[in-house]
Structure 1
C-alpha cells in the first residue's frame, strides 16, 4: 500500500490529478504512477501547443463572461449544474454584455462552450446532459427573439465577387500601399483566406512557378486548412492575383531594399500614411484593410475579413467547380457545413422549388 510520503514523490497538479495518481499507484506501483503522471503532463502540453491562439483568447473571454454572470447571480464559479448553465444562457441573451445589452445567440453559444471548457479545465464535472439542456434553452430563446422581431448580431459577411474585385483593383492608388492592397485581396480570394492567413504568411511561404503561385497556408486550425494552395495566372490581367503579387513584391524591394526579399520577412507588410513599413500585418490589420479597401471601391456592402473566404466558395460554385476541389483549395473538410452554407447562397436561387413556376 502506498504511503502519503510515497505520493509526494509523484507530481500532482491539483486535487483531481492527485486522486488519479493515487489510484494508479495502488494498481500499478509508484514508478508506473510517476510515468503515467508524466504522460498526462505531456498530453496537457501537447493540447496547449496545438490549440490556436485565437481559441485560447476566446476561452479566456468566455470565462470572464461566466465569472461576471456568477457574480451577478451570486453563484459559485466552479459549479456547472444544469440550472446554472441554463440561467447563464438566459442572462447572456437578456443583459450579458458589459453595456447591459443581450448577446447575439451565436455569441452566447460560443461563451457557453467556452465556459464549459473553463469549468472542465478547473476540474469541474459538467455532464453532457446538463450542457445539452443549456443549448436547448438557448435554441428555444433564440426562436422567441425571432418571433419578437429581434435579430441580433452582424449576420454572415457578404462574399467577395469578381465585379467587386475589379472595382477594388481600379480604386487602388499607384503606390506601394495600393499594390499591396491588390495583392492582398486578389491572392486572398483565390485561396479563400481568413484574416489570420495572410497575416501569418512569410515571403518564403509564397513560391512563384511558371503556371502561377503556390501559397503555403500554415495558420489553419485543422489538418484541412493547413495546405499548399495553387493560384494560376488569370486570363484577365487586371485582376490576376499572380501579376498583382509580383508587382507588389517587386515594388517593395525597389522602394525599401533587398532585405524585404528574404524568405523570413512578412509576405504582407503594414504601411503607414507616410509610406513607412511598420512590420508585418496582423489579423486585425488585415480585417481593417479589407474593409477599408472595399469601402474605397464603393462596393454595395463593405467586405469583412471573411468575405474573401466566402467569395471563393460561392463564386467557384457558380462557375460549376467541383465541391471537393473547392474544399481542397479553401482548406475546408470535404462536405464542410460552413462551405456548403456558402454554396447554398448560389444554389438557393437556381435549385429552388419556386423558381420558374410563373
Structure 2
C-alpha cells in the first residue's frame, strides 16, 4: 500500500481518495516525518460526505491512470499536465457512451485534482490553460446545439406541480400517504433525497400554539444541524403538516409504531418493511429505512402518475423530463422567488451556502417573467 502524505495544515490524500497502489501518484511525493494511523485515516474519512468522496475517488483514479500511462506525475501535477488532461477529455470517446466527457464532468474532474493536492498539502496546479480549453469546448458544443453543452437540471416541482402529483396519488392507502408526506416534507424542507432518507420521527416535534412542526434536520453536505419550522400549508392537499399526520396515523392503523426511520419501505400490498433477500441473505435496512434512491423514486413515480411534462430546458435528449429527488429542492427555490421571499433567508432555510451559484441559478430562472426584473415589461413594445 502507498504511504500517507501529510504536510503542514493538510489532510492526507488517503483520507479522501483511499490508499494508492505501489508506483502510483503518492510514490512521487516524499512521506512526511510522521504518518497517520489507519484508525486516524478512517476517522478523517468519515468527515467527508460519502457521495462527494465517491465522485472524487472515481475522477482522481481516471486522472491518475491517464497521467501515469502518459509518463506524467499526477501528484504534484503541473498546469501543463492538467491542460493536457482536459484536452484529452474533450477529444477521447468514453467507453460507456462513445462520446467525450461533458463539460460538467470535466469541471468536476478538475475539482478532484485540486482537492487531491489540497488534501496532500501541495500547491494546486494552475487551471488557467485547462479552463481556456474547457471554455472553448463548451462554446463548440453550444454552437453545434449538442445536448452535452447544456447543464442537465431536474424539473421543478413547484406547489402547483405538487398539487398535480398528489391529486394523482391515492392517499387513502398507507403507501400513498407516505408518498404525499415525502413529497410535501421534502419540498417544505428543501431536502436533498439523502437528507429526507435520514429523517427519524424523533427529529420532528409539534410547535407551540399549534403553529406547525419543528424539524431538527441534519444536512451532511453542509455539516449543520438545522432546526426548521414548517407551518401549515394554504392548501389541504399539499400541507406538509397535515400530510405527515395522515401518514403517521396510517402507519398506526397498520400496526406500525412511528419510531425510528420516518420514511419506510412499503410494498404495493401495503406491507411495511417486508424482508428483502439476495443470495439467501437479508438485505436492506432492518428497520425499513428507505434509501436515497427510494426517496427519489417517489418523485419520479408521482410525476408519471400525473402525466407531467417539463419545460424544454428541463428534458433529456430523448424528450423525457427529469423528475428526480432534486425536483422538490429546485421547486422550493423557484417558489420562494415567485413569492418574493428574501433570497438569503430562503437559501439558508434550504441549506444552500450563502452566495450559492446553484440557488442563484434557480432564482434567475424563476424571475424570467417577473415584471419588476424583466426590462421588456412596460416599455411600450
What TM-score do you get using the length of structure 1 for normalisation?
A: 0.80
- Contact conserved, 1:96 with 1:103, CA < 8 A, in 2? yes
| Post-superposition offset of 1:165 | 0.9
Matches within 5 A, 1:211-222: 211-222=211-222
Q: State the match for 1:166 in structure 2.
A: 163
Q: CA deviation at 1:166?
A: 0.8
> How far is 1:96 from its partner?
5.0
How far does residue 112 in structure 1 lie from its aligned partner after superposition?
2.0
Q: Are 1:80 and 1:124, in contact at CA under 8 Å, matched by a contact in 2? A: no
Residue matched to 1:322: 342
Is the partner of 2:253 in helix, strand or coil? Answer: helix
Give the counterpart of 2:304 among 287, 295, 307. 295
Alignment partner, residue 140 of structure 1: 136
Count of residues in Structure 1 that have an aligned counterpart in Structure 2 = 325
In structure 2, the residue corresponding to 1:231 is in which secondary structure?
strand
Are the equivalent residues in 2 in contact too, given 1:159–1:311 (CA < 8 A)?
A: yes
Unaligned runs of 5+ in 1: 1-11, 22-33
Task: Check if 1:180 corresponds to 2:178.
Answer: yes
Matches within 5 A, 1:83-232: 83-95=80-92, 97-99=94-96, 100-118=98-116, 125=122, 127-129=124-126, 131-152=127-148, 155-173=152-170, 174-209=172-207, 210-222=210-222, 226-232=225-231
* 1:168 positional shift: 1.0
SS of 1:256's partner is: coil
Q: Secondary structure at the match of 2:215?
A: strand
Task: Tell me the distance in 2 between the aligned counterparts of 1:340 and 1:154.
Answer: 15
Work out the CA distance in 1 between the residues paired with 2:219 and 2:345. Answer: 20
Change (3 A) 1:55 1:254: same
1:248 is matched with which residue?
Answer: 247
Could you report, residue by residue, the CA deviation over 1:219-278 in whole angstroms, capped at 9, with x for unpaired residues?
33225x6411111011321211100001111111221333xx22xx11111222333334
- Residue aligning to 2:263: 268
- Distance, in Å, in 2 between the alignment partners of 1:102 and 1:287 is 28
CA distance in 2, matches of 1:84, 1:96: 19
CA distance change for structure 1 residues 355 and 307 in 2, over 3 Å: closer, same or farther?
same
Q: Measured at CA, do residues 188 and 93 of structure 1 come closer, stay the same or move farther in structure 2, by a change above 3 Å? A: same
* CA apart distance, 1:70: 4.0
Give the direction of change, closer, same or farther, for the CA distance of 1:246–1:349 in structure 2 (3 Å limit).
same
Given that 1:80 and 1:116 are in contact with CA atoms closer than 8 Å, whether structure 2 keeps it comes out as no
Q: Quick one: distance in 1 between partners of 2:217 and 2:147? A: 35
Structure 2 equivalent of residue 239 of structure 1: 238
Shift of 1:43: 8.4
Deviates more, 1:226-235 or 1:326-335: 326-335
2:375 aligned to 341, 353, 357, which one?
353
Using the alignment, how far apart are the partners of 2:185 and 2:213 within structure 1? 9
1:82-112 deviation per Cα after TM superposition (whole angstroms, max 9, x unaligned): 2321222122233353323222101111122
Alpha-carbon contact 2:183-2:328 (below 8 Å) kept? yes
More helix by share: 1
Determine helix, strand or coil for the equivalent of 2:46.
Answer: helix
Q: CA deviation at 1:184?
A: 0.5
The answer to whether the 8 A contact 2:118-2:124 is kept is no
Post-superposition Cα deviations, 1:21-62, rounded to whole Å, max 9, x if no partner, equal 3xxxxxxxxxxxx7xx77x99986664232111111111121
Q: Which residue of 2 aligns with 1:7?
A: none
- Paired residues of 2:29 and 2:76 also in contact (CA < 8 A): no
Query: 1: distance between equivalents of 2:72 and 2:29?
Result: 25
SS at match of 2:131: helix
- Aligned partners of 1:80 and 1:126 also within 8 Å: no
